[in-house]
């Protein structure tokens, strides 16, 4: 399934992520694709907000991953492989996170680990510049995860 939408502001991107976070059940993978500054980490901040995570969500560009516990028992794993030509040990860590039924995974710059992503659980979100603050967002959602499509306005 495919859905496109225009996001006009930072607050709208947070709200969009929040809607996704409210819909997840566990074991979903969000593959975030876009240039630097298109709102990938902002979307993850909204995702965390939808999961009722109160920790400050930061970009994992320099730490490669960050993990956040949601009060409902889900865990948000946020990976950013931007600086890695070869994922090394992080490939194994991601593989283990993918096995977590209570995990929700958000991936940025996943080219080096793309082959690990389970297609039946991976939601691809492409973000493109559309003016100074706007973004054109395209979601590709597997049929098994139709509840994600139903959750977003």
State residue 109's pLDDT score.
86
State residue 81's pLDDT score.
81
Q: Residue 89 and residue 15: Cα distance in Å, rounded? A: 34
State residue 60's pLDDT score.
66
Report the DSSP pairing between strands 135-140 and 103-108: unpaired
Which of 28, 26, 59 is CA-nearest to residue 45?
Answer: 59
* pLDDT band per the 50, 70, 90 thresholds, residue 127: very high
Q: Residue 126 and residue 17: Cα distance in Å, rounded? A: 13
Over the stretch 21-51, which tens digit does the pLDDT of each residue have?
Answer: 999 999 999 999 999 999 999 999 999 999 9
State residue 32's pLDDT score.
97
Q: Is the pLDDT of residue 143 over 80?
A: yes
State residue 1's pLDDT score.
95
Average pLDDT over residues 130-144: 95
Q: Residue 38 and residue 43: Cα distance in Å, rounded? A: 10
Q: Residue 54 and residue 110: Cα distance in Å, rounded? A: 26
Residues 34/126, Cβ–Cβ less than 8 Å: yes
Q: To 5 degrees, how large is the angle CA 106–CA 148–CA 56?
A: 40
State residue 93's pLDDT score.
87
Average pLDDT over residues 110-114: 85
* pLDDT band per the 50, 70, 90 thresholds, residue 63: low
How far apart, in Å, do the first and last CA atoms of the chain sit?
15
Helix (H, G, I), strand (E, B) or coil at 42: helix
CA dihedral 47, 38, 33, 150 (to 10 degrees): 40
């Amino acid at each position: 399934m495919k859905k496109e939408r225009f996001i006009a502001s930072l607050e709208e991107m947070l709200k969009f992520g929040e809607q996704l976070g409210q819909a997840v059940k566990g074991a979903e993978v969000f593959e975030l694709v876009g240039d630097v500054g298109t709102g990938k980490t902002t979307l993850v901040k909204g995702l965390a907000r939808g999961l009722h995570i109160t920790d400050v969500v930061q970009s994992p560009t320099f730490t490669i991953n960050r993990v956040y516990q949601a009060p409902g028992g889900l865990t948000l794993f946020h990976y950013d492989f931007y600086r890695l030509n070869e994922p090394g040990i992080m490939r194994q860590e991601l593989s283990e996170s993918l096995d977590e039924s209570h995990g929700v995974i958000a991936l940025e710059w996943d080219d080096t680990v793309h082959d690990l992503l389970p297609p039946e659980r991976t939601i691809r979100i492409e973000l493109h510049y559309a003016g100074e603050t706007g973004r054109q967002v395209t979601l590709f959602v597997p049929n098994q995860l139709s509840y994600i499509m139903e959750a977003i306005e």
